[in-house]
Amino acid sequence: MLLSTLQTPRSLSRLTRHPHSFTSRASLTHQTQTLTPSSPSPPPQSEILSIRHALLSRRASAADLVLSQLARLRLAEPRLRSFLHLPDDDALLAHARRLDARIAAGEDPGPLAGVLVGVKDNICTADMPSTAGSRILEGYRAPFDATAVKRVRELGGIVVGKTNMDEFGMGSTTEASAFQVTANPWDESRVPGGSSGGSAAAVSARQCVVSLGSDTGGSVRQPASFCGVVGLKPTYGRVSRFGLMAYASSLDAIGCFGSSVADTGTLLHAIAGHDRFDATSSKQDVPDFQSHFVAVSSLESKPLKGLRVGLIRETIDDGVDAGVISAIRAAALHFEELGCSVNEVSLPSFSLGLPAYYILAVSESSSNLSRYDGIRYGNQVYADELDSLYGGSRAQGFGSEVKMRILMGTYALSAGYYDAYYKRAQQVRTIIRNSFKEALSQNDILISPAAPSAAYKIGEKKNDPLAMYAGDIMTVNVNLAGLPALVLPCGFVEGGPSGLPVGLQMIGAAFNEGELLRVGHIFEQTLENCKFVPPIVVDDIAY
């Protein structure tokens, strides 16, 4: 039977059946439960490739594609509020026409040609405001494109707008945006997660094809899980941070969202690689992730034979929703069906990650946010005296979550407290890094939920910051260890009009995003009867 393949008896008893759990292809015949939708659905396709084929075969012009994508974006936008800034259609069409001209001239318009890319608002763009969701930067325009944005544009991608976020990345719901609250496309009464909630919601609702986010403690992975999209946090240093407004510099990473693993990998490939404007960016080679992808039709029966998968025991423990645990257990089963050996691994230092993360993140942020003083840019209050100018500008410009974190960080770095807080947190970080290294020497990838629950209601945790912080338990360790992690939807729990998606987190060795993408692609292609398209998406654009 299906369950007999699980190795630890303890897990057996925990595995609960959920009406929305998927079944893997191999086990379908043994399943008796009802599935929604009941008919098999095709695995996710690469929208980027479809667009490319449409353009190169001249089935559609870039201008047509942009117009139809924009129409869908605008239709959903009043309900979701994913975007903070959208340029004129004319500006976008001008980009599209340039691509069409290149295609007409027989040139390759680039691998991202005609692809609408959403960009989180803390990533600088020269042609649109960049506010990081903060009042203090209202109307601020950067004089340069972030390196990641520059690379997207160089490859033909069209930046369609700036996505909503928790102010300066500080939050897990996007409710801490100074400007608007974004809704979850699966259930508009719920949060999309955060802090990259706008980027996740936009991809989920197909308002854009892919999007850039940033992940300091899970800000790409948790919203990917909440919105049922693929989210990738690359290895620290894989993608240049130049142009990313710093939250916690030693943890920040620009990440990617897509509706398929293939699209997410394509976007990562576009933005990854060394940048001489970021001293912490790595000179490691960037492999061609796409070439690792195997089409579903040519997959062997056990395509992941020999892959050692470690399920982190501490992540399927108390405090994690039963529905999430069962979805993850089912994903583990799916890995076994694909030929992997799945073992539970224990990371005893796992629970230390959350306090260590919050000390380090708030400490660094208290420093990184010092530059927002109202002197050179951003909102400045009128004052008679310098300290009042600083105090007033920052009091009015920052939201309460940001102020709280600045205060905590300032405290943690103060003379006399440094050793007790910052220094100890750094020691914990070293322990965590080593324990991941150890676990990844025994396993090729580690898996866990991306979040302890599916998307919760707007306002539910707004006044309970500790509960919100606790939600980051699954993701912060990965940032502390600087490792890459891929989140992809693996199942559903009950909630909303049609269920709420659950994300599986796969953690790999440093700079081994290629393996995560390869495994994730196979997982996704073989996962049946799970169509991660939210109800808000009613039409399909034919490329």
Partner 1 sequence: MASSIFRSLQVHPFMLYPTTFLRRRNGVFHLTTKATQSQTDTQQRQPQTKVSSSNSTQSKKLDKIPKDYEAIIGIETHVQLSTLTKAFCGCPYSYGSSPNSSICPICMGLPGALPVLNSKIIDFAVKLGLALNCNLAFKSKFDRKQYFYPDLPKGYQISQFDVPIATAGFLDVDIPVEFGGGHKRFGITRVHMEEDAGKLLHAENGNYSQVDLNRAGVPLLEIVSEPDMRNGIEAAEYAAELQRLVRYLGVSNGNMQEGSLRCDVNVSIRPIGQSKFGTKVEIKNLNSFSSVSRAIDFEISRQVQLHSQGQEDQIVQETRLWEEGSQRTITMRKKEGLADYRYFPEPDLPAVILSQEYVDGIKNSLPELPEIKRRRYEQMGLSMQDVLFLANDKNIAEFFDATLAKGADSKLVANWIMSDIAAFMKNEKLTINEIKLTPEELSELIASIKGGTISGKIGKEILFELLAKGGTVKELIQKKDLVQIADPVEIEKMVDKVIVENPKQVEQYRGGKTKLQGFFAGQVMKLSKGKANPGLLNKILLEKLNSKS
**Where does this chain bind partner 1 (CB under 8 A)?**
122-124, 126, 130, 132, 137, 140, 142-144, 146, 241-246, 248-250, 276-280, 363-364, 366-367, 369-373, 375-377, 382-386, 389-390, 410, 413-415, 418, 422
Task: Mark whether 195 is an active-site residue.
Answer: yes
| Catalytic entry in 219, 240, 281, 366 | 219
Report, in Å, the least distance between residue 273 CB and partner 1.
Answer: 16
User: Crossing angle, helix 353-368 and helix 400-413, to 10 degrees?
Assistant: 100
Report, in Å, the least distance between residue 417 CB and partner 1.
Answer: 10
Report, in Å, the least distance between residue 249 CB and partner 1.
Answer: 4
Report, in Å, the least distance between residue 124 CB and partner 1.
Answer: 4
Contacts of 347 (CB under 8 A, 6+ apart): 312, 313, 314, 432, 435, 436, 439, 477
Query: Could you give the dihedral angle defined by the CA atoms of residues 146, 151, 157 and 162, in that order, rounded to the nearest 10 degrees?
Result: -10
- Residue identified by tokens 């300091």 is 216
Contacts of 97 (CB under 8 A, 6+ apart): 62, 63
Nearest to 95 by CA among 77, 109, 76: 109
* CA angle, 261 then 265 then 270, to 5°: 155
Nearer to partner 1, 362 or 517 (CB): 362
Nearer to partner 1, 429 or 521 (CB): 429
* CA angle, 529 then 342 then 454, to 5°: 50
Please check whether residue 136 is in contact with residue 390, taking contact to mean a CB–CB distance below 8 angstroms.
no
Please check whether residue 153 is in contact with residue 159, taking contact to mean a CB–CB distance below 8 angstroms.
yes
| Catalytic entry in 24, 195, 214, 448 | 195
Report, in Å, the least distance between residue 144 CB and partner 1.
Answer: 6
Indicate the SS3 state at residue 387: helix
Nearer to partner 1, 25 or 150 (CB): 150
What is the rounded CA–CA span in Å between residue 230 and residue 261? 6
Nearest to 506 by CA among 304, 274, 322: 304
Contacts of 104 (CB under 8 A, 6+ apart): none
Nearer to partner 1, 236 or 289 (CB): 236
Report, in Å, the least distance between residue 149 CB and partner 1.
Answer: 10
Structural tokens at position 522:
């196979």
Task: Mark whether 461 is an active-site residue.
Answer: no
ω into 37 cis (within 30 of 0): yes
- Residue identified by tokens 């005609």 is 114
ω into 195 cis (within 30 of 0): yes
- Regarding beta strands 210-215 and 116-120, do their DSSP bridges make them parallel or antiparallel, or are they unpaired? parallel
What is the rounded CA–CA span in Å between residue 68 and residue 73? 9
DSSP 3-state percent helix, strand, coil across the chain (nearest 5): 40, 15, 45
Nearer to partner 1, 26 or 381 (CB): 381
Report, in Å, the least distance between residue 489 CB and partner 1.
Answer: 31
Report, in Å, the least distance between residue 242 CB and partner 1.
Answer: 5
Nearer to partner 1, 108 or 418 (CB): 418
Task: Mark whether 82 is an active-site residue.
Answer: no
What is the rounded CA–CA span in Å between residue 428 and residue 356? 6
Nearer to partner 1, 422 or 543 (CB): 422
- Residue 485: phi and psi, rounded to 5, are -145, 140
Report, in Å, the least distance between residue 422 CB and partner 1.
Answer: 6
Nearer to partner 1, 24 or 281 (CB): 281
| Catalytic entry in 120, 150, 233, 531 | 120
What is the rounded CA–CA span in Å between residue 528 and residue 295? 15
Report, in Å, the least distance between residue 351 CB and partner 1.
Answer: 24
Please report the beta strands in 76-124, taking only residues with DSSP state E, as ranges in sequence order.
Answer: 83-85, 116-120
- Residue 62: phi and psi, rounded to 5, are -60, -40
According to DSSP, residue 423 is labeled: I
Nearer to partner 1, 16 or 388 (CB): 388
Nearer to partner 1, 259 or 363 (CB): 363
What is the rounded CA–CA span in Å between residue 213 and residue 71? 23
Catalytic residues: 120, 195, 219
